[in-house]
Structure 1
């Protein structure tokens, strides 16, 4: 993410907080109102209640738990959550594994929401958040035992600069955990919009081969790498049915990603489903160590 964190590019800010960027209420105000409408106290929320808006990646919390297991994360580890969005992975790692987490995102509305959600879930003392460019953070060298990144590299045009920054921030032998969208074998144009991009210029997908080569050049040694496309597609198909009204939830509906992305989110979800099914994108999950 190469934009100035104090003023992200209009396309990026407009994409990730479309209602707020269009002059609507701030993201936190929209979310708080939606939680009240669902019968929840916005000042005291559970991790289950916020799961729909703090895990903005394929597979939700299950995918995050799987990635944590691949990286053998444990209590006390210092983890940098890059492209943290609204902070769901940071909170999950802190609450379930006892990690010390710092989430970084370039979108100010996401960072503000992440801080609010951590306060509301009682995790403000165990999670911190920073609005910054992933390629240029104001953090000290060798600060973290692990770098964590889910569905964010495809928004970063300068992969080499980002990987160099991660190399700087990790302790010797530190771990890099990636859950990433990559280009598939079907090179036909993507159906757009998708959750990470509304235009081709905003999407920086790499092939698996290119990503692995860049990681090796940056000094990262692979430990485990899985193609989790089939499970991601099944998860996306289920959620597309729900978003399209095919599954009627019992009771009040908790806030979901539509409040963040706006009215087009259902279309984004359908397009992502179709791109996965057509082999235009694939999903990887893996762990690397700093050589």
Structure 2
């Protein structure tokens, strides 16, 4: 007999799949992106990490934010990393290629997982990365098998954070760490300008304030190591990208251009980016980067 938790998880997964795979239009995301690379004169089976940069890190700051988070965590190479909410796998590939990590990515959106596996194979990183379609509160990996939990802009899509954090406790080795780059609610509590990249409605946005996030981590047994407010850098990055996304409908693209996020988010992408910029500028949203260590509990 299905449990209420199972039913809730299925509904949550359906909402996220509908949000992040909204531009399907009769094609799978994988097919649409492969066609776009072909149109840009690229072989979809042999791509560089620069070729795929426009679609592989769908968070504020892109690759620069991921490198900053890795520096915060003092990664030295060889760590077993779990990339929570991995999307199309860009951070996983960066950690494998630039830091020598062994990375497992998990995402509840099946289209993202399919694309992540393809992009890792196409960029020659399939042996260092693997991707699983699963809920972050129930990852099919063994207890104590992970050195680092990595999470960028994923908790904002998760309504039941205590369940997720308990799973991180199970998966991490004693003394393992969490590296988090996350959106939180700002001091301006006026309603968000919507849609934004993580939600089209208020009901599907799970922003928490900094204090709530820190309390949840503490209750789950994680000890804070370092926390930075990186909102100013994130806003500057978003402002620059909003200037580039100048087409009125956000979808017009030169036929030979490399694929960008509009191919994933669809017609509303440019508007989502502008709204995120405005929410950051108005203090409705802030961005934190931090590290925590798994306690002895």
Q: Count matched residues.
A: 288
Preserved contact between residue 6 and residue 108 of structure 1 (Cα < 8 Å): no
* 2:86 aligned partner: 84
Counterparts of 1:208 and 1:192, CA distance in 2: 21
280, 285, 293: which is aligned to 1:276? 280
1:33 aligned onto 2:47: no
User: What's the TM-score once normalised by structure 1's chain length?
Assistant: 0.95
* Matched residue SS, 1:286: strand
Preserved contact between residue 39 and residue 255 of structure 2 (Cα < 8 Å): no
Q: Deviations over 1:63-121 (max 9, x none)?
A: 00000010011221100000000000000000001100000000000000000000100
12, 17, 23: which is aligned to 1:19? 23
Matches within 5 A, 1:238-249: 238-245=240-247
Structure 1 segments unaligned to the other structure (5+ residues): none
> Which moves more between the two structures, 30-39 or 194-203?
30-39
Preserved contact between residue 198 and residue 205 of structure 2 (Cα < 8 Å): yes
Matches within 5 A, 1:1-291: 9-20=13-24, 23-245=25-247, 252-291=256-295
User: What's the TM-score once normalised by structure 2's chain length?
Assistant: 0.93
Q: Flag the 1:6–1:26 CA change in 2: closer, same or farther, 3 A.
A: farther
Q: Deviations over 1:216-263 (max 9, x none)?
A: 1111111111000001001001111111149xx999421111101111
Preserved contact between residue 37 and residue 43 of structure 2 (Cα < 8 Å): yes
RMSD (Å) for aligned C-alpha atoms: 2.0
Preserved contact between residue 2 and residue 157 of structure 1 (Cα < 8 Å): no
Q: Per-residue deviation at 1:5?
A: 7.7
Preserved contact between residue 184 and residue 279 of structure 1 (Cα < 8 Å): yes
Q: Per-residue deviation at 1:10?
A: 3.4
Structure 2 segments unaligned to the other structure (5+ residues): none
Runs of 4+ displaced beyond 6 Å: 1-7
Q: Flag the 1:184–1:79 CA change in 2: closer, same or farther, 3 A.
A: same
Q: Deviations over 1:110-149 (max 9, x none)?
A: 0000000001001111100000010111211001000000
Preserved contact between residue 233 and residue 273 of structure 1 (Cα < 8 Å): yes
* Matched residue SS, 1:49: coil
Q: Flag the 1:77–1:9 CA change in 2: closer, same or farther, 3 A.
A: closer
